[in-house]
Amino acid sequence: MNLLLPQPIGPVTADNASCCRPDPLLIPERLGSRRRRIWELGAHAHCPVIGVCLPLPVVRRLADKVLGGQALATDYALHCGVNSDCRQRSPMAEAVQKELDRRYLLTVRQSQRLKTTEALVQWWQQQRQGDSVPGALWATLTHPRCDAALEEHVLQDIHLLQHQAGAANRADLARLDSLLDENWVLANELARVQERCTRQAREQAQKLERTQSELVLARAALVGRDTLVACLREDLAALEASIPDLRGRQALSEQLARQLERIQDLERALLRTQQTLDMERLRQAQAEPPDGQPPRVEAQDGPGPREPTAGEALGERAVLCVGGRPASVPAYRRLIEEVGARFMHHDGGEQDHIARLDSTLAAADLVICQTGCISHDAYWRVKDHCKRTGKRCVFVDKPSAASLRRALVILKPVKD
């Protein structure tokens, strides 16, 4: 019965639906060494072999190739028609035999090493537990040592395995549904994560672009700085080359500055000593009476006639005070103006320009220099000016009102 014509196939009848029922006739045991062909198997073996060993797309492809067209039958009708054609030797049976031998070549070669039925039974028991059941089924049923009992046993195992596969498929479908739900949840989460990653990647790219721009600017600034440093080094080298022994001169200049500072410290100490001696001589001169005159005795009933102080003899002279604390300048002014002199002041280069010191010195009659509060340049200018002009100058170490008062006493004009 040929059901593989290229036109629609009618309903399934009892004839084509009986392919899955076992054949009551058992194949007699063969003692040869030739493998059996598919048309030599029992009719009850065709359905398991074709259903298990060949996928439906492969069966349809073989039918289209044999018929030279496209089979329009359903999958079940196609399966039954191929089983019917494989009961005898036919082009369809030969195509199925060739496809099965090609597909399971390695398994068939492995089974050829088995020489007894007992070894074949043990080999089948091992293979049915693994993943190569289709190849083991084809190799066992076509083996020369497969007798009727082993064939029936193999077909029973395949029948049970198909039931178990159906139950496993239903369980797999249930698991597939749960996995699809979980996959949907994970897909949504993955989409959110990908969106977040994309946003972060875009932000990082923008940040990287800004960083690279800043890096380019920093490198440009560094190149400019290096260029400036190189130019300055070239200028310095040219300057050193134009001035011979510049290093030695610089060392001598530093040594000279240290020596000048030390000389200034020594002169300040000498001035303090001289001022101390002058004050001591002044006190002794005031304490001793003139020759041939009795010592002066102060009246007890009241104050007697006051002798003029030393500062009152300064008259309208201009007294220049160089240095001193800014907060004490009003006190300096009051002390100098009390003795009738005119007050002048220069801070010694702290705030007033040092160039103005020369003109101020020229306008002064007397100079009080407070050495502890002026610069080295101002000190040397005051000393040089007073030395050249013969102008009286008193150097005061401590910037206080008492020191200024003692300096005014020292500036008393000498009587002829």
Strand partners, 394: 368
Contacts for 28 with CB less than 8 Å, ≥ 6 apart: 148
End-to-end CA distance of the chain: 169
pLDDT at 203: 94
Q: Where are the alpha helices (DSSP H) in 243-294?
A: 246-287
Q: Which of 172, 146, 145 is nearest to 49 (CA)?
A: 146
Strand partners, 344: 320
The tokens for 351 are 């705030």
Could you tell me the maximum CA-CA distance found in the chain, to the nearest angstrom? 181
Give pairs for 336-339: CB < 8 Å, separation 24+.
336/404, 336/408, 338/311, 339/309, 339/311, 339/312, 339/314, 339/408
C-alpha of 206 from chain center: 15
User: What is the rounded distance in angstroms from the CA atom of residue 404 to the CA atom of residue 303?
Assistant: 27
Judged by DSSP in three states, 341 sits in coil
CATH 3.40.50.10700 occupies which residues in the chain?
270-281+309-410
pLDDT at 15: 45
DSSP β-ladder status, 366-370 and 318-322 = parallel
CA 15, 19, 23, 26 dihedral sign is positive
Judged by DSSP in three states, 105 sits in helix
| CATH code for residues 270-281+309-410 | 3.40.50.10700
**DSSP states of 4-43 as a string?**
--SS------TTTTGGGSPPSSPPPP--SSSPPPGGGS-H
* Residue 103 burial class via C-beta count within 10 angstroms: exposed 0-12, middle 13-18, buried 19 and up: middle
Q: Give the global pTM.
A: 0.37
pLDDT at 301: 39
CA 114, 119, 124, 129 dihedral sign is negative
pLDDT at 305: 37
| Contact between residue 260 and residue 376 where contact means Cβ atoms under 8 Å apart | yes
DSSP one-letter code for 313: G
User: What is the rounded distance in angstroms from the CA atom of residue 281 to the CA atom of residue 347?
Assistant: 31
pLDDT at 217: 93
User: What is the rounded distance in angstroms from the CA atom of residue 360 to the CA atom of residue 363?
Assistant: 5
Reading the chain (416 residues) residue by residue, the pLDDT tens digits are 444 444 333 333 434 444 444 444 434 445 567 888 988 888 788 888 888 888 888 888 888 888 887 777 888 888 888 888 888 898 988 998 898 889 888 988 888 888 888 988 888 888 888 778 888 888 888 888 888 888 888 888 888 887 777 666 666 677 788 888 899 999 999 999 999 999 999 999 999 999 999 999 999 999 999 999 999 998 888 887 887 777 777 788 888 888 877 887 777 777 778 767 877 877 777 676 555 444 443 433 334 333 444 444 566 788 888 887 777 788 888 888 888 788 888 887 767 677 788 888 888 888 888 877 777 788 888 888 888 888 888 888 777 777 777 777 777 654 43
pLDDT at 171: 66
The tokens for 254 are 């530093």
The tokens for 271 are 């001035």
User: What is the rounded distance in angstroms from the CA atom of residue 193 to the CA atom of residue 55?
Assistant: 41
| Contact between residue 73 and residue 81 where contact means Cβ atoms under 8 Å apart | yes
From residue 374, give the alpha-carbon distance in Å to each of 3, 322, 346: 129, 8, 10
Q: How many CB atoms lie within 10 A of CB 79?
A: 23
pLDDT at 187: 92
The tokens for 367 are 């100079």
Amino acid sitting at position 326: P
Contacts for 249 with CB less than 8 Å, ≥ 6 apart: 243
Contacts for 207 with CB less than 8 Å, ≥ 6 apart: none
* Residue 174 burial class via C-beta count within 10 angstroms: exposed 0-12, middle 13-18, buried 19 and up: exposed
User: What is the rounded distance in angstroms from the CA atom of residue 359 to the CA atom of residue 316?
Assistant: 19
